[in-house]
Structure 1
Amino acid sequence: MRLIIQIPCLNEADHLPATLAALPRHIAGIDTIEVLVIDDGSNDNTAEIARQWGVQHIVRHRRNRGLAAAFQSGIDRALAAGADIIVNTDADGQYEGGDIADLVQPVLRGEADIVVGDRGVADNVHFGPFKRRLQRAGSAVVRRASGTTITDAVSGFRAISREAAQRITITTEFSYTTDMLIQAGRKRLSITSVPIRTHRTDRPSRLFKSIPRFIMQTGVTITRAYTTNNALRVFVGLGLLLLVIGVLPVARFLWFYVAGDGDGHIQSLILGAALLMMGTLVAVMGILADLIATNRKLLEATLFKLRKLEERLDAGVDSEAKRDIDDRRSAQDAEILPIPSRRGG
């Protein structure tokens, strides 16, 4: 069982050594633990620090592409490196490295596909009152959108099984946390959480520059992810709402028309007709969007099968190469060993 711990980094040369030092070296049930650092366009020596600390895998972006892209790059590299479990953590030391052992246990036991580290937002001493309320409200929205029970939706400390990592592709450009949960909930993956410890971080967030910007970008991410995975419900629901609203001014015009006073209320008829047409068009858009979403599911299923096929081919090539090496060694041994001479009795 191979565990790869991935760490997305942006100018983390000062904090990375302490984060690497806190990572576990041995976990029961895990045969190999490796580290993967994703340097997302840093302008310091983050990648060099990673090399000095013996990090086995390093991915470098030529320019900053954002946390979501760095996370996806890490997942792709970890899968290519043969990871059975992937753990994502931050480089700023917010999460306790020793808790990785607890984080991977539900995956090791086959109880979950994704495990999210729960920071205990409601009473976390490192969060201010406003941040606590904001995190709880955001997690409630994500739970509703994803159909999960996760109480800390934006926690970046999480463990992912190989199969779950193969089935999820991050599409947002801001943060992977909410997009990942909504996709996982839609695909009926098993998601759970475990309590974790956190540490205070003094440096400002590299993900967002202000709370209003964070709220706006997170809201856009949630809306986009939910709409992508529930297109029919969103567009048909909106279309029906417009149809209902459109019926009201039409009914108003008909009321006055029957009463013999329809000439003065033609605006209600025009407004109602416009709303009815808009509602119909939006509902049709929902049907088309659902067809596109269905096509996306087929593409994702094809991609998943392709990844599985690549694994089998790689395993076959490795096995064949190993057999070829063994055959060569046997041939060499046969040449080296002396042939016993026959003596007549």
Structure 2
Amino acid sequence: MKLIIQIPCFNEEETLPVTIRDIPRKIPGISEIELLIIDDGSSDNTIKTAKRLGVNHIVSFPKNRGLAEAFKAGIDACLKLGADIIVNTDADNQYKGSDIPKLIAPIVNGNYEMVIGDRKTDTIDHFSPVKKFFQRFGSGVVRKLSKTDVPDTTSGFRAYSREAALKLNVVSEFTYTLETIIQAGHKKIAVGHVEIGTNGKLRESRLFKGMFSYIQRSAKTIIRIYTMYRPMRVFMTSGLISASIGTLIGIRFLFFYFGGSGGGHIQSLILAAVLLIVGFQLGTLGLIADLISSNRKLLEDVLFRVKKLELNEHSNNTKEVIQKVKNNKIS
């Protein structure tokens, strides 16, 4: 069984050596362990450092594209390199490499297809009380929407089986952490979690400028992804709320109208009509969005099959090249 550990990097010349030194080179049940770096347009010597440290594979972007794009490129490269299990970790040494065997064990044993490391964020000293609160609140929202029991949904220390990695399609340009959990939950991928340790902070986070910026962008991601998978519920609920309020206001107008003072409440009639129309339109949009969602599911199934065919062909071509090289050496 082949394990590839991918590490997205952006100007990680100083922290990368610490991260790589902490990664185990032998794990029970794993025959091959390789490292893959995704250099996200670094302006320092990240690539040179990675080569010096003996990293097996390097994917390099000429310009910074963001964490989500780096993650997607890493997953794609790992699959083409024949990974049976993919571990994603951060280059700032936030996560302990010694926990990788614990992280992948449920996948090796066949219990889960996707495993997320639980940092126990309430115990992390350098997390402020406000950050701890929003971590708990945000994780609770994602658990409910994804129907999973992952306690630390923003953890970037996670493992994927080959099959799970093939099924995930990241569309966010911000971060993959929340999106992949919601996707996995709705695609019936078996998601588990294990408790992990964390190291001391080596640098400040570069993913967002501040806590409220992160909350805002995360909220947008959650709403967008959930709407993709449950459009009928989102639009129908919104439509029913609008129509219900409109109906109540309309009943209020009728009460005054039959009481002989309806002329002074024309605004209520107009507002009720607008809300009822909006409610009807939202319900109609829900039906249309549900049809689009059904087509998207079919397209995702086709994409999954195409990926498998492409990777099988790539694997066969690689085997043919290796065999030719061996034959030439023998002759």
Q: TM-score, normalised on structure 1?
A: 0.92
| SS of the residue 2:36 aligns to | strand
**Are residues 1:208 and 2:208 paired?**
yes
**In structure 2, C-alpha distance between the alignment counterparts of 1:266 and 1:120, rounded to whole Å:** 57
Amino acid in structure 2 at the alignment position of 1:51? K
**In structure 2, C-alpha distance between the alignment counterparts of 1:93 and 1:312, rounded to whole Å:** 34
Label 1:91 to 1:324 Cα distance change in 2 as closer, same or farther (>3 A). closer
2:233 corresponding residue in structure 1: 233
**In structure 2, C-alpha distance between the alignment counterparts of 1:328 and 1:17, rounded to whole Å:** 38
Q: Show the 5 A alignment for 1:110-149.
A: 110-149=110-149
Q: Show the 5 A alignment for 1:185-264.
A: 185-264=185-264
Q: Is the 8 A contact 1:153 1:181 kept in 2?
A: yes
Q: Is the 8 A contact 2:82 2:315 kept in 1?
A: no
Label 1:39 to 1:326 Cα distance change in 2 as closer, same or farther (>3 A). closer
**In structure 2, C-alpha distance between the alignment counterparts of 1:14 and 1:54, rounded to whole Å:** 16
Q: Is the 8 A contact 2:146 2:183 kept in 1?
A: yes
1:335 corresponding residue in structure 2: none
Label 1:54 to 1:237 Cα distance change in 2 as closer, same or farther (>3 A). same
**In structure 2, C-alpha distance between the alignment counterparts of 1:62 and 1:71, rounded to whole Å:** 16
Q: Is the 8 A contact 1:94 1:201 kept in 2?
A: yes
Residue 63 (structure 1) shift: 1.1
Q: Show the 5 A alignment for 1:248-327.
A: 248-318=248-318
1:177 corresponding residue in structure 2: 177
4+ residue runs over 4 A deviation: 318-330
Amino acid in structure 2 at the alignment position of 1:248? L
**In structure 2, C-alpha distance between the alignment counterparts of 1:148 and 1:185, rounded to whole Å:** 6
Amino acid in structure 2 at the alignment position of 1:75? I
Range with greater deviation from structure 2 (251-260 or 315-324): 315-324
Q: Equivalent pairs: percent with the same residue?
A: 49
**In structure 2, C-alpha distance between the alignment counterparts of 1:201 and 1:147, rounded to whole Å:** 32
Residue 322 (structure 1) shift: 6.3
Residue 318 (structure 1) shift: 4.7
Deviations 1:112-154 (CA, angstroms, capped at 9, x unpaired): 0110001111223343322222211111111111111010010
Amino acid in structure 2 at the alignment position of 1:238? S
2:77 corresponding residue in structure 1: 77
How large is the RMSD of aligned CA atoms in angstroms?
1.7
2:94 corresponding residue in structure 1: 94
| SS of the residue 2:233 aligns to | helix
The count of residues paired between Structure 1 and Structure 2 equals 331
Label 1:319 to 1:10 Cα distance change in 2 as closer, same or farther (>3 A). closer
Q: Is the 8 A contact 1:10 1:206 kept in 2?
A: no
| SS of the residue 1:5 aligns to | strand
Amino acid in structure 1 at the alignment position of 2:22? A
Range with greater deviation from structure 2 (253-262 or 280-289): 253-262
**Are residues 1:151 and 2:155 paired?**
no
**In structure 2, C-alpha distance between the alignment counterparts of 1:66 and 1:297, rounded to whole Å:** 26
**In structure 2, C-alpha distance between the alignment counterparts of 1:11 and 1:316, rounded to whole Å:** 36
Residue 230 (structure 1) shift: 1.1
**In structure 2, C-alpha distance between the alignment counterparts of 1:291 and 1:221, rounded to whole Å:** 22
Label 1:66 to 1:278 Cα distance change in 2 as closer, same or farther (>3 A). same
1:342 corresponding residue in structure 2: none
Deviations 1:86-130 (CA, angstroms, capped at 9, x unpaired): 000001111110110110000001110110001111223343322
Amino acid in structure 1 at the alignment position of 2:294? T
> Any stretches of 5+ residues in structure 2 without a counterpart?
none
| SS of the residue 1:104 aligns to | helix
Amino acid in structure 1 at the alignment position of 2:96? E
> Any stretches of 5+ residues in structure 1 without a counterpart?
333-345
